[in-house]
């Protein structure tokens, strides 16, 4: 930066300034002959250059912040990257492991196989049990008489049921079917009671089945719900009638007169000693609370980069079998069925899985649902069963690393740590006098991939070398978020300019030291986050803040002083008696520049003689270039002082037009045509 002004101010003094060579100048040096008259005029340089020519020469050294702006206006562009880089992992405390337990889950009722027991009763068995009309029936073809036993008490045993010993029935039915199998035309009526032989005082059901015709069975259905029975179910006949057809019938006394079928169906057992068939018990479900250290986090969905889920099953039932555990809100790998005897286990990976934690309507966040079904192996021996017997599942999630989260993360505030940066522009360090840029801007460049509404409060404080400060403050500055979790990060630029901040005063200090900054970011400042408009982020998301300063050279300068020092060897000037530097210029650059030269000893700090002052350039424009001719005279006294010095201090006094009252806009294509000649007297010695 300094070197740009150095070349602009002192381009006509190139014969002295070693640090400011300008490659674009076309030197037309005279002959190398040293036999020159004692006084002569020597043209030493001629140039027709643009402002941008000067900039490019500086760029070759790689230490400039200058570039072309809009409308070819030269500007300083400075960017400080990552003054704040906030990783979203810092926002929430996410668990690396979780453990859940179903507790003891009752296995509930089981089902038994349907079973039918048959009991046939012949005329001979009735003749053995009863006396009276039945005795008149004989073997062979005959017409049966009217037979009626309206009030008997005869017990007939049935073979024990093999599927259980004793059970308490939750639900089920007993279907009694009477089949008239021994007659061709007469009808049969029977009545009685069912009872459990082991509980003789308990009548299970009364029945009466009337007028059963041959070949047309009649049935009665009985509800067994909430009954406790053994497998020894008998029936008692309290009534037997045969209504004859009065036509001959072939009678076989030993064949079944009628058959009684006892069919146990749809038995659902609450407890008992049983043999069970293979069966599937379904509709087991529940939920766990997925816990986060931050109590105010409501997570709707979470995706995992890594993690494992392990299930341990404890079996308090007498059964073996398998358990199929399903997590309906997990999209990803499924858990294989868990075989169990007394216990079992299973493992699945969560890598690449997504958990929806909002499936439960009553608790639509942080809720981890599960469902399972149990397949029971058939038993060959009797087992003691009770529906209160239980299974329990312990679920362990380990090595969790989240990939993304969606939810409501509540109102949160994070601090932008206090920090500083330095524009490192030597130009500002050299400024003396009134200096003001007419249209500077400071840009906050936000690169944001975090899907959470937020606002930022920030401040920037600049200080000059006299200790004066200026501050730019902002509050409630909205940070935009990307549209969805699959959308790319967005970048937004928030610009502080003369119409919305005191950036003009901020730069006019000028900021010669560090620019300090700080602030905070408030996430979800308005609350009201719903599942349809959820917060979201990937765990690699971040919010980065860069700062950029854009300083177009639209200047108001009044007696702005720029100073530089060039080292010399005074002995090189021992032949000079006097000299005049003649500078002719045609100038489109809108700056008035005067120059002062000081001869100094940098070791002792001593100044030799008075400053030499002269004009250098008169402000002009592309439309109206200015023409100027200025002379810098070195008298004998000045030459003597030059010989005693080891450095020349060059001080340029710069003003915008009309003594700094007008703004000077520095265009890259503004041109300067300058030629420099020297008139000197030389003392020639042998």
pLDDT of residue 376: 96
HEC profile of 122-190: EHHHHHHHCCCHHHHCCCEEECCCCEEECCCCEEECCCCCCCEEEEEEEEEEEEEEEEECCCCCCEEEE
pLDDT score of 428: 58
Do the Cβ atoms of 526 and 635 come closer than 8 Å? no
pLDDT value for 657: 87
Helix, strand counts (H, E) of the chain: 7, 44
For the segment 400-404, the average pLDDT, to the nearest whole number, is 95
User: CA of 391: how far to CAs of 100, 320, 677, in Å?
Assistant: 14, 11, 106
**pLDDT digits 0-9 by tens, 207-248:** 999 999 999 999 999 999 999 999 999 989 999 999 999 999
Q: Helices 2-10 and 51-59 meet at what angle, rounded to 10?
A: 130
Average pLDDT over residues 100-124: 95
The Cβ of residue 477 has, within 10 Å, a number of other Cβ atoms equal to 15
pLDDT tens per residue, range 474-487:
888 888 888 898 89
Which helix (H) or strand (E) element contains residue 658? helix 657-660
- β-strands 515-523, 298-315: how paired? unpaired
At residue 470 the predicted structure's pLDDT band, cuts being 50, 70 and 90, is confident
Q: What confidence category does residue 569 fall into, taking pLDDT thresholds of 50, 70 and 90? A: low
What does the pLDDT read at residue 574? Answer: 67
Position with higher pLDDT, 248 vs 639: 248
User: What number is the average pLDDT over the span 503-529?
Assistant: 83
Higher pLDDT among residues 240 and 15, named by residue: 240
Tell me what pLDDT residue 567 has.
Answer: 79
Residue 111 reports pLDDT greater than 80: yes
Collapse the DSSP code of 359 into the 3-class scheme (helix H, G, I; strand E, B; otherwise coil) and give the result.
coil
Confidence of residue 299 (pLDDT cuts 50, 70, 90): very high
How confident is the model over 536-546, as a mean pLDDT?
92
**Mean pLDDT computed over 283-289:** 93
More confident residue, 325 or 556: 325
Mean pLDDT lowest among 56-60, 360-364, 648-652: 56-60
Calpha distance 262→114 (Å, rounded)? 11
Compute, in degrees rounded to 10, the torsion defined by CA atoms 630, 636, 642, 648: -20
Q: In which residue are the tokens 């004066």 written? A: 468
CA distances from 685 to 32, 35, 194, 682 (A): 18, 11, 154, 9
Q: How far is the C-alpha of 440 from the C-alpha of 505, rounded, in Å? A: 10
Mean pLDDT over 645-673 rounds to 84
Cis peptide before 510 (omega within 30 of 0): yes
pLDDT reported for residue 61: 53
Residue 45, pLDDT > 70, answer no
Mean pLDDT for 455-459 is 91
Higher pLDDT, 175 or 80: 175
H or E stretch at 244 = none
Query: Does residue 39 surpass a pLDDT of 60?
Result: yes
Mean pLDDT taken over the chain: 85
What pLDDT score was predicted for residue 26? 41
Distance of CA 538 to the CA centre of its chain: 3
The region of weakest confidence among 126-140, 276-290, 661-675 is 661-675
64 confidence band (pLDDT: 50, 70, 90): low
Query: Which residues contact residue 438 at a Cβ distance below 8 angstroms, ignoring those fewer than 6 apart?
Result: 498, 504, 552, 554, 555, 556, 663
**Listed ranges 10-24, 27-41, 44-58, 349-363; the one with the highest mean pLDDT:** 349-363
Average the pLDDT over each of 49-63, 264-278, 286-300, 329-343 and give the range with the smallest value: 49-63
Please give the pLDDT value at position 18: 30
Examine the pLDDT at 48 and tell me if it is beyond 90. Answer: no
Question: What does the chain come to in residues?
Answer: 686
Q: Does this model's pTM top 0.85?
A: no
CA 334 – CA 584 distance, rounded (Å): 88
The whole-number average pLDDT for the span 371-381 is: 96
pLDDT, residue 243, reads: 97
């Amino acid at each position: 930066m300094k070197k740009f002004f150095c070349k602009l101010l002192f381009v006509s003094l190139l014969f002295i300034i070693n640090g400011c060579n300008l490659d674009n100048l076309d030197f037309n040096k005279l002959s190398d002959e040293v036999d020159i008259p004692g006084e002569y005029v020597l043209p030493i340089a001629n140039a027709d250059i643009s402002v941008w020519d000067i900039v490019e020469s500086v760029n070759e050294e790689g230490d400039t912040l200058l570039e072309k702006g809009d409308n070819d206006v030269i500007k300083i562009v400075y960017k400080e990257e990552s003054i704040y880089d906030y990783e979203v992992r810092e926002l929430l405390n996410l668990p690396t492991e979780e453990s859940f337990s179903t507790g003891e889950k009752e296995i509930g009722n089981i089902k038994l196989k349907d079973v039918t027991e048959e009991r046939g009763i012949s005329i001979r068995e009735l003749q053995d049990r009863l006396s009276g009309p039945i005795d008149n029936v004989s073997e062979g073809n005959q017409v049966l008489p009217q037979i009626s036993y309206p009030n008997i008490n005869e017990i007939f045993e049935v073979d024990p049921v093999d599927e259980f010993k004793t059970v308490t029935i939750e639900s089920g039915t007993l279907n009694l079917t009477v089949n008239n199998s021994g007659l061709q035309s007469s009808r049969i009526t029977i009545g009685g009671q069912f009872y459990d032989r082991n509980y003789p005082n308990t009548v299970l059901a009364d029945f009466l089945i009337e007028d059963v015709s041959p070949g047309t069975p009649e049935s009665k259905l009985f509800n067994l719900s909430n009954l406790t029975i053994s497998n020894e179910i008998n029936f008692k006949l309290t009534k037997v009638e045969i209504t004859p057809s009065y036509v001959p019938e072939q009678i076989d006394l030993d064949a079944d007169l009628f058959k009684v079928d006892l069919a146990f169906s749809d038995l659902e057992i609450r407890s008992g000693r049983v043999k069970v068939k293979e069966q599937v018990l379904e509709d087991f479900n529940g939920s766990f609370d997925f816990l986060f250290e931050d109590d105010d986090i409501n997570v709707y969905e979470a995706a995992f980069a890594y993690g494992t889920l392990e299930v341990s099953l404890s079996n308090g039932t007498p059964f073996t079998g398998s358990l199929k555990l399903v997590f309906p809100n997990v999209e990803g790998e499924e858990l294989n069925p868990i075989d169990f005897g007394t216990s079992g286990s299973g493992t699945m990976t969560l890598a690449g899985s997504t958990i929806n934690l909002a499936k439960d309507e009553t608790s639509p966040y942080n809720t981890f649902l599960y469902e399972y079904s149990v397949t029971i192996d058939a038993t060959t021996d009797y087992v003691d069963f009770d529906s209160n017997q239980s299974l329990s599942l312990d679920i362990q999630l380990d090595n969790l690393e989240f990939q993304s989260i969606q939810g409501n993360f509540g109102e949160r505030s994070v601090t932008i740590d206090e920090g500083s940066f330095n524009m490192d522009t030597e130009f500002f360090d050299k400024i003396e006098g009134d200096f003001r840029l007419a249209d500077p801007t400071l840009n906050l460049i936000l690169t944001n991939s975090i899907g959470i509404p937020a606002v930022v409060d920030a401040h920037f404080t600049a200080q000059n070398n006299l200790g004066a400060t200026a501050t730019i403050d902002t509050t409630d500055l909205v940070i935009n978020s990307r549209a969805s979790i699959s959308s790319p990060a967005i970048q937004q630029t928030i610009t502080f300019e003369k119409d919305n901040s005191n950036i003009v005063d901020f730069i006019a200090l000028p900021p010669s030291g560090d620019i300090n900054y700080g602030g905070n970011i408030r996430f979800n400042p308005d609350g009201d986050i719903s599942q349809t408009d959820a917060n979201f982020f990937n765990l690699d998301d971040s919010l980065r803040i860069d700062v950029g300063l854009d300083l177009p050279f639209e200047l108001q300068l009044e007696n702005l002083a720029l100073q530089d020092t060039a080292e010399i060897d005074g002995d090189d000037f021992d032949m000079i008696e006097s000299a005049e530097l003649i500078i002719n210029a045609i100038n489109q650059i809108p700056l008035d520049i005067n120059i002062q030269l000081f001869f100094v000893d940098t070791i002792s700090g001593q100044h030799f003689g008075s400053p030499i002052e002269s004009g250098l350039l008169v402000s002009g424009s592309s439309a109206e270039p200015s023409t100027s001719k200025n002379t810098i005279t070195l008298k004998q006294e000045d030459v003597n002082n030059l010989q005693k010095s080891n450095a020349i201090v060059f001080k340029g006094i710069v003003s915008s037009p009309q003594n700094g009252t007008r703004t000077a806009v520095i265009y890259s294509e503004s041109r300067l045509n300058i030629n420099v000649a020297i008139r000197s007297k030389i003392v020639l010695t042998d």
